[in-house]
Chains A and B, each alone.
Chain A
Amino acid sequence: DSGVTQTPKHLITATGQRVTLRCSPRSGDLSVYWYQQSLDQGLQFLIQYYNGEERAKGNILERFSAQQFPDLHSELNLSSLELGDSALYFCASSPPPGSPANEQFFGPGTRLTVL
């Protein structure tokens, strides 16, 4: 157990709909990252937050948005869903810069299926 939680585990929805994925980082971690992984593909970096502020942006579609709240949990909002958005969405957290451990700790992922 990495200490990163993601809800829900599975989500099935229809094209055109909007969904929200939720992530709680490990205790003490200030950074949250979102990744998309389509079937048998690598990790596509979407966006990073650090202590509530957006820090880095990857290939995130305009239909997608995210935020990190004061309690450090994060939400990824996906709207106007398309079939191609079906994927596993990972959240990861990492300790503050300068901490002894620098690796990312991954949540179990949310599997999104768009029908």
Chain B
Amino acid sequence: AQTVTQSQPEMSVQEAETVTLSCTYDTSENNYYLFWYKQPPSRQMILVIRQEAYKQQNATENRFSVNFQKAAKSFSLKISDSQLGDTAMYFCAFIPVSGTYKYIFGTGTRLKVLA
């Protein structure tokens, strides 16, 4: 079975500091996509960043970057220069290219940015 594990239920970081959220997944698929979604207190789900498994280069979006380790099945999210607006729940998600096209979400990491 395909699973996504986020082992850090809660984290906190000082404003302007850097924080890394971890995510591991389990799959026998070779081609898939990985995502990080952010859910702020408004509860809207917002895509933060996406990574295609066949691309070795780590994705970056402004202050957000990932460390994708395919062999280790690890997909961590690094937030640089943390801002108060980054306070949110962060979900890691996985989807294989083939099959039912069903997305698998982790249980989430609640991040609090402290002033």
Contacts and interface: CB of A to CB of B under 8 A. Distances in A.
Contacts of B37: 106
Interface string B10-48: 000000000000000000000001010100000111110
B115 to A, nearest CB: 23
Contact of B103 (A45, A97, A108, A109): A45
Interface residues of B, number: 21
Contacts, number: 50
B100 interface: yes
Interface in A56-115: 56, 88, 90, 92, 94, 97, 102-106, 108-109
A42 B101 contact: no
- Looking at A43, A56, A109, the one whose CB has the most chain B CB atoms below 10 A away is A43
B43 A109 contact: yes
Contact of A97 (B46, B97, B107, B108): B97
Interface in A23-67: 31, 33, 37, 42-43, 45, 48, 50, 55-56
Given A43-B105, A102-B33, A106-B45, A56 B100 contact: yes
A7 to B, nearest CB: 16
Interface in B27-81: 33, 35, 37, 43-47, 50
B108 A42 contact: yes
Contact of B35 (A33, A37, A50, A103): A103
Given A108-B44, A109-B43, 20 more contacts: A31-B101, A33-B103, A37-B43, A42-B91, A42-B106, A48-B101, A50-B101, A55-B100, A55-B102, A56-B100, A56-B101, A90-B45, A94-B101, A97-B97, A102-B33, A103-B33, A103-B35, A104-B35, A104-B47, A106-B45
The 3 closest A-B pairs by CB, nearest first: A106-B45, A42-B107, A56-B102
Interface of B: 33, 35, 37, 43-47, 50, 91, 93, 95, 97, 100-103, 105-108
21 contacts: A31-B101, A33-B103, A42-B105, A42-B106, A42-B108, A45-B102, A48-B100, A48-B102, A56-B102, A92-B45, A94-B103, A102-B33, A102-B50, A103-B33, A104-B35, A104-B45, A104-B47, A104-B93, A106-B37, A109-B43, A109-B44
